[in-house]
A and B are shown apart, each in its own frame.
Chain A
Amino acid sequence: SSELTQDPAVSVALGQTVRITCQGDSLRTYYASWYLQKPGQAPVLVIHANNNRPSGIPDRFSASFSGNTASLTIAGAQAEDEADYYCSSRDSSGYLPFGGGTKLTVL
């Protein structure tokens, strides 16, 4: 089964742009989805498929892909964006791994 790797922690100054990455072989074939999770809450889908945002997700969230790496970019990070971010992407066998998560701190 494929695994997905994320940096454990990233920080960004308020209003600046930050990129969170996710690496894995399955990303060469399948899109990543991105979720944010705040303490004590369930995950929230922020990006799916080819850079699609569900209703209600601000347009400062965007995604990109290159090779085996998927990236989530937050342009103009806000205090409320401080959260844990998880990527996920199926593999060819029908298994869905999640990345280990990236803790985003907004300074």
Chain B
Amino acid sequence: QVQLQESGPGLVKPSETLSLTCAVSGYSISSDFYWGWIRQTPGKGLKWIGSMSHSGGTYYNPSLKSRVTMSIDTSRNHISLKLNSVTAADTAMYYCARTLYGDNPFVFDYWGPGTLVTVSS
């Protein structure tokens, strides 16, 4: 059974870099599939951040692309998200997820429980 678990600081100061990791168990991330990040502002809808393939290919949301870096660490079997120059607008629940198919970066069937990040001084 594939399981994902996000982790990282729950509080980040404005203008700093938000760094999250997603530990994957039950599957080797180097084998296949895309791995994505999606966030949700409290009480609001979902926003796709980006998707990265097991081989490193990426798709990013254009509105966040200039501030986002996604990476894969196959030795630790986890994926990472960095979002720099954060503001209060980046306060959200952040989810990592795995795609349903290895050739489609846009449909997610396994999700982590999410981690709440607040941007505040």
Name A's B-contacting residues (CB within 8 A).
1, 33, 35, 37, 41-45, 48-49, 54, 86, 88-90, 93-101
Contact = CB atoms under 8 A, between A and B. Distances in A.
Task: Specify which of A37, A41, A45 lies most central, judged by the most chain B CB atoms within 10 Å of its CB.
Answer: A45
B43 to A, nearest CB: 10
Interface of B: 38, 45-48, 51, 59, 61-63, 95, 100, 105-109, 111-114
Sorted nearest first, the 8 A-B pairs with minimum C-beta distance are: A42-B111, A98-B46, A96-B48, A90-B106, A101-B45, A96-B106, A45-B109, A94-B59
A86 B95 CA distance: 15
A45 B107 contact: yes
A42 B114 contact: yes
Contacts of A35: 46
24 contacts: A33-B106, A42-B111, A42-B114, A43-B38, A43-B46, A43-B108, A43-B111, A45-B108, A45-B109, A48-B109, A54-B100, A86-B45, A88-B48, A88-B106, A90-B106, A93-B62, A94-B105, A95-B59, A96-B48, A96-B61, A98-B46, A99-B45, A100-B45, A101-B46
